[in-house]
Every structure is written in structure tokens, then in C-alpha cells.
Homo-oligomer: A and B are copies of this chain.
Amino acid sequence: MKKLKISVIPGDGIGREVVPETLRVLDRLAEVHGGVTFQYETHPWSCEYYLENGVMMPSDGMARLHQTDAIYLGAVGNPKLVPDHISLWGLLIKIRRECEQVINIRPAQYIEGVKSPLAEPNQFDFIVVRENSEGEYSEVGGRIHSGEDEIAIQNAVFTRKATERTIRYGFELAQKRKGRVTSATKSNGIVHSMPFWDDVFQEVSNSYPAIETESNHIDALAAFFVSKPQHFDVVVASNLFGDILTDLGATIMGSIGIAPAANINLNGKYPSMFEPVHGSAPDIIGQGIANPFGQLWTAKMMLDHLGFEELGSLLIKAIKETIGDGIKTKDLGGDSSTKEVIEHVMTKLL
């Protein structure tokens, strides 16, 4: 019997509604499989926690996360309670960085039964590999002067190591898929970091002669996600560009509530973290209508990552069948509650 320790951080808003419900599904999967149990260590770290304690997580928090096999997170942030840069940099981005989750993987797929805002969603199926440790998200910079003379300087920092491993990860992934890698750039307007990104992309691509490559400026690429999403296989992107592209990817799927993400630690020193793309959606808290599919799909990515691909496949099949049966939350055009979706998914896991 394999015992897996999972750190659970429901976080804010609907994170607290979907996370506990989806843990029931994980337990059912463990039961079905027989050879594994999940042991959860649940943390109340959130904006409310901050209001009480003045920090987003306790000082030994990171060490406790490090002792577990994976981190399962709901959503962080509630700007009405705590400014975003405090809540995010004190918890979500802090974990990404200190657990060295250097890559963020976000698939987007056309799902039968989910209404896309696109007229012809055309069976797209792509994965964005996002740099997750540096780039435009940097604490380097500051302000000088005040009033009309004030200036803010923001430094984006791109290292060879982080850029290369992100791009290389994309090529490795593409080898197991359709064999095409698209690079998100903006070297026509951003003249230091992006030409550097392009150079590394070019160099890495030389070691993968069988992979088809292309570079698109982020403005055009964002537009192509709308006009021809079926074209893409693997897209490699900087932290900011990956952030923008994956919200677009989630949107063309029909709802940001359905899209999953995995923050991957590559060196094996710390756990990886699994969180849906959606945020805490404070506007719909307490109504029982939060979409749990993104969180469930995220659980599938966690199962795959932990070596239980069989359970991961069972789960994604159950997700798709449930949607196919019309058991959908409001954002997907249905009228089922969070709990009803979960119950229905459970019936599919036998």
C-alpha cells in the first residue's frame, strides 16, 4: 500500500468550496485502485489567515510543504481583503519559487458538450509550457521621485538556465505529441529579453530536427488562439505571456472554470503544486455553484505526476462523461450545483 502525503491549501473564495469536494473524488479513486491512500494535511492559508496573522503562511509553512509528495491548491487572492501582490507573493508565487516549481503546464482542449465562445472551436488540443520562476514577474525594480516626476522601473530577468529548461521541456513534450513547438515572442518591440528568448529557442530547436518550430509575436499569437486554435500543439512562453495565453486557452474551452494547471518541480527536491487556472471568484462564494471541473482536472494532473496515470485516465474520462451527460455548472451553461457534479463524477469511477 502506497501512502501519499498531500498538502492541501483550499485558499480563498471558491477554492474552499471545490477543494474539499474534489478530495472526496480522490479518495474514491484511491479506494477503486486499492494500492494507494492519500493522507491530507490541510492548511488554512488565505487572505483571511493574513488578516488574523499578518502573514499568508506561518514561518514553518514552507518546511511543512516540503515534507509532502504534492501540493493541491484551490485559489489564492481576494483583493477586497488583501492587496493581490501581498496575497499572491506571500503564498502562490512564494510556493512556486521556493519549491522550485520552475515550469507551469496548462493544457487546453476542445471538450464535447462545453459551449465555446468560438463559432467553430474545431477540436483544438494544445499545451502551454510557461516559464514559472522569473521573467516579467520579478521583484527587481522600484520607484523614484514623487508626484509628477515619479518613475517606476520594472526589471524583467531572463536567465539562460530557466529559459532553456522551459523551452527544452516543450520540445520533449512535443516529441510525445504532434511534434510542433510554437514560441511566444515579442522581439520586435521588447528588444533585450525577447531576442534572448529567440536565440535560446533557436539553439534548443537545433537539437530537435524532427520537431516543427515557429515563432509568433505575442499579439499575433493571442489572436491565433482565437482564430485558429486547432493549429497548436505545444506553445512555450515566458511567465507573463504564458499567463495571458493560458487564460485565453481556458476561455476558448468555454469557461475558465474548467482549465487545470501543474506547477512542476524538475529537480525532485520539493513537491510540485496543482492548481486550477481560475481564481477565487469572490463574487459567487456561498452559492454552491462553483465549477469543480478545473480542480478535478488538476487532480488528474497530480495523479499522473505521482505515477498513477491509470487513475488519472479514469478521472478525466469521468469528467468528460459527466459533461457529456449534461451535468454542468452554470458557467458551462448547465444548472447543476458543485455537489451534484461531484456526485455524478463519483458514479463514473467504478
Which B residues lie within 8 Å of A279 (CB)?
220
B-facing mask of A158-200, CB < 8 A → 1, else 0? 1111001000000000000000000000111111111111000
Q: CB of A222 within 8 A of chain B?
A: yes
Q: Within residues 142 to 160 of chain A, which ones have a CB less than 8 A from any CB in chain B?
A: 142-143, 145, 147-160
In Å, the complex CA distance between A250 and B160 comes to 34
| Beta-carbon contact of B223 and A190 below 8 Å | no
| Beta-carbon contact of B227 and A247 below 8 Å | no
**A-side interface size class:** 35 or more
CB A120 to nearest CB in B, in angstroms, measures 7
| Beta-carbon contact of A219 and B196 below 8 Å | no
| Beta-carbon contact of A244 and B226 below 8 Å | no
Q: CB of A251 within 8 A of chain B?
A: yes
Which B residues lie within 8 Å of A89 (CB)?
191
Q: CB of A239 within 8 A of chain B?
A: yes
| Beta-carbon contact of A244 and B227 below 8 Å | no
CB A240 to nearest CB in B, in angstroms, measures 7
**Given A151-B157, A161-B148, A244-B219: A227 in contact with B187 (beta carbons within 8 A):** no
Which B residues lie within 8 Å of A192 (CB)?
139, 141-143, 152-154
Which B residues lie within 8 Å of A222 (CB)?
222, 244, 247-248
B-facing mask of A225-246, CB < 8 A → 1, else 0? 0110000000000011001101
| Beta-carbon contact of B190 and A219 below 8 Å | no
Q: CB of A85 within 8 A of chain B?
A: yes
A196 contacts which of B150, B244, B251 (Cβ < 8 Å)?
B150
| Beta-carbon contact of A220 and B191 below 8 Å | no
| Beta-carbon contact of A240 and B186 below 8 Å | yes
Q: CB of A84 within 8 A of chain B?
A: yes
**Given A116-B119, A160-B148: A190 in contact with B136 (beta carbons within 8 A):** yes
Q: CB of A93 within 8 A of chain B?
A: yes
Q: Which residues from chain A sit less than 8 Å from chain B, CB to CB?
A: 77, 84-85, 88-89, 93, 115-120, 136-139, 141-143, 145, 147-161, 164, 186-197, 218-220, 222-223, 226-227, 239-240, 243-244, 246-248, 250-252, 256, 279
26 A-B pairs within 8 Å (CB atoms) are namely: A85-B188, A85-B191, A115-B119, A116-B119, A118-B226, A136-B189, A136-B190, A137-B190, A143-B196, A145-B160, A150-B196, A151-B157, A151-B160, A153-B156, A153-B193, A154-B155, A154-B158, A189-B239, A189-B243, A190-B240, A218-B243, A219-B244, A222-B244, A222-B247, A223-B251, A244-B244
